[in-house]
Homo-oligomer: A and B are copies of this chain.
Amino acid sequence: MEKHPRKLLVVITEAAIEKAVVQDARRLGAHGYTASAVRGGGLQGEREGAWEADRSVELKIVCGRDTAERIAEHLLAAYAPHYAMTVWLADVQVFRAEKF
């Protein structure tokens, strides 16, 4: 089966802004996303997820390169200054080009 190159955008951030981030990503061209609860630590200290304000979420979005960069840049500009946020991109291959 033929494979198509796409980008995987990974965003780890505060659960408080999950809804907003997903909305923005959809608006900027993502066809889907996957979310899961995570814990972690970084520049803003430990986030253990023990209660509401301390919860983190990891979002994964597979999409085209341009879309991925557009979303990443928007998120970094809009949220990273004030929220715990980590963003990276990776190369992946998908089989159903039209889906992503």
Contacts and interface: CB of A to CB of B under 8 A. Distances in A.
Interface of A: 1, 3, 6, 8, 10, 12, 22, 31-43, 56, 58, 62, 69, 72-73, 76, 80, 86-96, 99
Nearest to A72: B95
B95 A87 contact: yes
B87 A90 contact: no
A22 B87 CA distance: 20
28 contacts: A1-B73, A3-B89, A8-B90, A31-B42, A31-B43, A32-B40, A32-B42, A32-B43, A33-B40, A33-B42, A34-B39, A34-B56, A34-B86, A35-B39, A36-B38, A36-B39, A36-B58, A43-B99, A62-B86, A72-B95, A76-B95, A76-B96, A80-B96, A86-B99, A87-B95, A88-B92, A90-B90, A90-B92
